[in-house]
A = this chain, B = another copy of it.
Amino acid sequence: MTILWVNPVHTPAYDAEIARTLRATGAEVDVLSFAPPGPTHLEYATHGLAVAAPLLSAVRWARAEGYAALCIGCFYDPGLRAAREIAGPMVVTAPAEACLHSAAPLGSRVSVLVANRTCVAEAREAVERTGLGGRVASYRSLDMRVHDFQESPDRTRERMLAASRTAVEEDGADVLVLGCTLEFGLGDAVQRELGVPVLDATVTTVAFAAYLADLAGRFGWRPSRLDYECPPEEEIGWLPPATAPGPVTR
């Protein structure tokens, strides 16, 4: 089963590293990002909207390619509903959904570590859509821009640890979720130090995608068409073409 991880940003900067991270977990993944020009991160809702067209292309292309599942690689779960409408037999999921459903069995209260203050609202909206907003202890900001996470891993780890301590000690969090995909690979220190699960938004999403794809394949449990009705072919002629909107790391 091959899964496509989409970095819904117009830069290949993280593709190789994310591919390496995901494959290190044993997953069979390809990674796609979008060709410039366009936003290279999605901290703003504007940027999230701006990647709509390549995201739709990516979904159509991935479906045509026969991927078992597609992961929309941003914690705001952008375009998840639309992607499910047109994905056909391919499974689609995204980090907020994957992380919250995976965290809930691990502890009563979950804290989400977001990049900065402006990220709270969109992260919260994505989490509320999963239905598990009532389980959130807090959204804690690392007070960093998302491009700094991998640039300054030590600083990121340090801030993660501080924010996590506050989440655990003051907010009552039992479990932590890295609320941005670009925090990938940086949660291990917190997990070791604090002894609580720290869910990485990349590997969790791929694992959950594989889980959903497995259910779909074995039992036919695909998104309910009462809720995710497929637009008829004749009215989506205007859709962006089913070609890869950027480089694919295979």
CB of A76 to closest CB in B, whole Å: 10
Known: A38-B238, A79-B49, A93-B105. A44 touches B131 (CB 8 A): no
Q: A196 to chain B: which residues have CB within 8 Å?
A: 224-226
Are B174 and A224 within 8 A (Cβ)?
yes
A108 to B84, CA, bound (A): 13
Given A85-B45, A107-B227, A212-B105, the answer on whether A237 and B37 have CB atoms closer than 8 Å is yes
Whether B106 contacts A231 by the Cβ 8 Å rule is no
Query: A143–B221 Cα gap in the complex (Å)?
Result: 26
Q: Which residue of B lies closest to A118 (CB)?
A: B229
Which of the listed residues A43, A121, A220 has the most CB atoms from chain B within 10 Å of its own CB? Answer: A121
| CB contact list, A212-237 vs B, under 8 A | 212, 214-215, 218-229, 231, 235-237
In the assembled complex, the Cα of A218 lies from the Cα of B24 at a distance in Å of: 10
A200 to B220, CA, bound (A): 12
Instruction: Tell yes or no: A63 within 8 A of B by CB.
Output: no
Knowing A45-B81, A132-B132, A211-B211 are in contact, say whether A105-B223 is a contact too (CB < 8 A).
yes
Given contacts A134-B134, A221-B199, contact A226 B107 (CB under 8 A): yes
Smallest beta-carbon distance A48→chain B, Å: 7
A39 interfacial contact with B, CB 8 Å: yes
Q: Which residues from chain B contact A135 at a C-beta distance below 8 Å?
A: 131
A102 at the interface (CB under 8 A from B): yes
Q: Which of A12-20, A50-58, A152-160 contacts B (4 or more CB under 8 A)?
A: A50-58
Known: A82-B45, A224-B197. A121 touches B108 (CB 8 A): yes
Select from chain B the residue with minimum beta-carbon distance to A223. Answer: B106
Question: For residue A55, which residues in chain B have a CB less than 8 angstroms away from its CB?
Answer: 49
Asked if A222 and B239 sit within 8 Å, CB to CB, the answer is: no
Query: Considering the chains assembled together, what is the distance between the CA atoms of A200 and B25 in angstroms?
Result: 29
Are B50 and A56 interface neighbours, CB within 8 A?
Answer: yes
Task: Flag A188-217 by CB within 8 Å of B: 1 or 0 each.
Answer: 000100011101100110011001101100
Q: Which of A48, A107, A191: most chain B CB closer than 10 A?
A: A107
